[in-house]
Structure 1
Amino acid sequence: MLWVKAFHLIAVICWFAALFYLPRLFVYHAMSEDAISRERFIIMERKLYRGIATPSMVATLLLGLWLLHFNPAYYMASGWMHAKLSLVALCVVYHFYCRHFMVQLRENRCQKSHTFFRIFNELPVFLLIPIVILVVVRPF
């Protein structure tokens, strides 16, 4: 179980690193004015999303389910786990919302400003903090 937990934590860290960096690329992409810069950001966003973010998300979810499998009665009876899983579901929604913006930016039809993406970039922090607190403190 400890090996599964270790790899789960590694996957979570990688996933959140990608969720923190991808919207930052959107900021720079939205600010870019020349075709060469825009093309560079399209490539960087695609590689980050497909090569790191999505595989890390899948690993996080599969390893998390594996951890639940070790003691499902305890975990599913815990209020903190329900809250955590709800926040993880929001992380998945955020992940796919990033894909939505990535496609819009790639097709040059995104109407969002770099200021919007600066705010959007901060949202994963508001998911990560309560998730960590719920897992470590287990308040209910």
Structure 2
Amino acid sequence: MSDLLAIAYPWTKAIHIMAVISWMAALFYLPRLLVHHTERVGLTGETHDLFTMMEFKLANVIMRPAMIATWIFGLSLVFTPGIVDWSMIWPWTKAGAVIAMTGFHEWLYARVKGFADGQNTLTGKQYRMMNEVPTVLMIIIVLSVVVKF
């Protein structure tokens, strides 16, 4: 099995990077949609229905599959012999940030479901602040992997 992972390593890494880019794009865009939905649209009407459909498709057609692919190919990289030195700090900081990113993903998903049910308790300003979460986590992840501190 480890031979197969080593042979597939360049392909696994390439697919992992593509999945991460797709996941991050959705994590950056969805909170912006929620800001506009909150501030400009409200919870009823045709525009609400349009935003609800856009948020649902972004969350289910792009964001969730990209997250799943990120995890599958990321774990494949982790199990490839010689790639991760668990005695260093960087794999732990990256793992913590990826787990936090997944938690943020699930939080956003719950917000999408709430809007679909006609419920929202947050303000546009709160969604704007939450939009910074994936940026901070991305910085931690990239620095962890590239600088390997």
**Structure 2 gap ranges (5+):** 1-8
Alignment of 1:12-91 (within 5 A): 12-31=20-39, 32-33=41-42, 35-71=45-81, 74-91=84-101
**Per-residue deviation at 1:71?**
2.1
- Partner residue in 1 for 2:10: 2
Superposed CA RMSD: 1.4
- TM-score for the superposition, normalised by structure 1: 0.94
**Per-residue deviation at 1:119?**
1.0
**Per-residue deviation at 1:117?**
0.8
**Per-residue deviation at 1:57?**
0.3
- TM-score for the superposition, normalised by structure 2: 0.88
**Per-residue deviation at 1:78?**
2.5
The percent identity for this pair of structures is 34
**Structure 1 gap ranges (5+):** none
C-alpha contact 1:68 1:75 (8 A) present in aligned 2: no
Q: Report the more deviating stretch, 85-94 or 103-112.
A: 103-112
**Max Rg structure:** 2
Compare the two structures and name the one with the higher helix fraction. Answer: 1
Count of residue pairs brought into register by the alignment: 139
**Per-residue deviation at 1:112?**
0.7
C-alpha contact 1:87 1:131 (8 A) present in aligned 2: yes
- Partner residue in 2 for 1:116: 126
